[in-house]
Structure 1
Amino acid sequence: MDLGSIDLWGAAIYFWIIPAVLGDAIFPPMPSEMVVITGGALSAEGRANVFLVVALAALASWLGDVVVFQLFKRRLSHLLDRWKWGRKLHSGIHQAIAKAGRSSTYGTIIGARFIPGGRLATSAAAGIGEVTTRGFSLCAGLGAVLWACWLTGLGFVTGSTTGLPFWASSLIGVAVGLVVGAAVGIIVTRRRGTRSPVDEPGAEPES
């Protein structure tokens, strides 16, 4: 099986987008950006439908954010502590929020997804804070559409202009996305929280 075959990827990209982007909501190392950018690059070569790539990426992003938001809004995060992998995940969420800060404003909900770990941290912090379900859902939906359009467009533009194979165009797109994400991260996280609002696994709850 030739993993670099454009025909193989063109047929499978739709099936990779949803699990990758959903998984990224809780486990940021998931290569969701790479998958969506690849979808854009394949669209530039006529091997995928650019509108379907955007729609699937946006839907999966929104669903993942809502799941994390509800998990913390309903105070169900302690369920993670029943398993070793869950405690590690819970601790990782705590660290992500501590790095990204405690802001749960609507602007942050929309924009933080463009920085590494920002999507997870903001969704969890919003669930713990006073953000309404309707407000979060609307902002997460808008942010998901903007994020999906940005990454798909990045792949489409690099695929259209470089003349390189789709996988090379995808790597260039990822590099550009990382630079932009780092720049956004510097701006968004200037005011960091001194403490994560998430209870660390094993910590005593506050009275």
Structure 2
Amino acid sequence: MDFGSADTWRDAIYFWIVPVVMGDAIFPPVPSEMVVITGGALAAVGRANVFLVVLLAAAASWLGDILVFQLFKRRLSHTLDRWRWGRTFHLAVHTAIGRAGRSTTYGAIIGIRFIPGGRLATTAAAGIANVSTRGFSLCAALGGLLWAVWSVSLGYVTGAATGLPFWASSLIGVGVGVAIGAVVGVIVTRRRGNSSPVVDGPDEELDF
């Protein structure tokens, strides 16, 4: 099997998108951007349906967000501490919130997912702050769709513009996405003035 061949990945990419993007909601190092951008690059060479890739990525993003949101909204996160992987996840949430900040505004739910670690931090914080389930669901759906379109576009445009093999276009797209996300992250952090803003009141505790 030639993993560098677009024909090898033309059908497999659909099966990878959902579990990887959902996994990224829980564990940010999971390379969801890589998989979705690769889907865009494959679409550029006619080996994937660009609309199906966007749909799967957006749906998986929404499902992952809802899972994490409900976990923290219902205060079930402490049950994870019974297992080693659960403690690792709990620590990852603390770390993500420390880096991306604890914003629970609807704008943050939509937009901070573009910053590395921002998706987990904002989703968990929204659950902790008891944000409306309906409001969160709508914002997560819109944010997931925008993220999916952006990520697929990175792969598609790079592949169409360069004519490189799909894997090379994917790597370039990932590099561009990471660079832009890092710049936006720095700007957002500087505007906030600290790494852990609390929007619901200065006396609120980080109870999770």
Tell me, yes or no, if the aligned pair for 1:102 and 1:197 is still in contact at 8 Å.
no
Equivalent residue pairs, number: 199
Paired amino acid for 2:12? A
Distance in 1, Cα, partners of 2:197 & 2:49: 44
For the residue of structure 2 that corresponds to 1:189, the secondary structure is helix
Counterparts of residues 55-204 of structure 1 (less than 5 Å): 55-190=55-190, 191=192, 192-193=195-196, 197-199=206-208
For the residue of structure 1 that corresponds to 2:131, the secondary structure is coil
Distance in 2, Cα, partners of 1:146 & 1:194: 25
Distance in 2, Cα, partners of 1:194 & 1:154: 31
The TM-score, its normalising length taken from structure 1, stands at 0.93
Tell me, yes or no, if the aligned pair for 1:44 and 1:157 is still in contact at 8 Å.
yes
Distance in 1, Cα, partners of 2:129 & 2:197: 16
Tell me, yes or no, if the aligned pair for 1:22 and 1:64 is still in contact at 8 Å.
yes
- Per-residue CA deviations over 1:86-143 (Å, capped at 9, x if unaligned) read 1121111111112211111011100111011100010000000141001100100000
The TM-score, its normalising length taken from structure 2, stands at 0.92
Q: How many percent identity over aligned positions?
A: 72
Paired amino acid for 2:196? G
Q: 1:133 to 1:78 in 2, by over 3 A?
A: same
Tell me, yes or no, if the aligned pair for 1:104 and 1:129 is still in contact at 8 Å.
yes
- Structure 2: give runs of 5+ residues left out of the alignment: 199-204
For the residue of structure 1 that corresponds to 2:10, the secondary structure is helix
Distance in 1, Cα, partners of 2:197 & 2:131: 20
Q: Could you tell me how far 1:194 is from its partner in structure 2?
A: 6.5
Paired amino acid for 2:100? A
Tell me, yes or no, if the aligned pair for 2:73 and 2:130 is still in contact at 8 Å.
no
Superposed CA RMSD: 1.3
- Structure 1: give runs of 5+ residues left out of the alignment: 200-207
Distance in 2, Cα, partners of 1:6 & 1:13: 10
Q: Could you tell me how far 1:197 is from its partner in structure 2?
A: 1.8
Which residue number in structure 1 is paired with residue 30 of structure 2?
A: 30
Q: Could you tell me how far 1:198 is from its partner in structure 2?
A: 4.3
For the residue of structure 2 that corresponds to 1:47, the secondary structure is coil
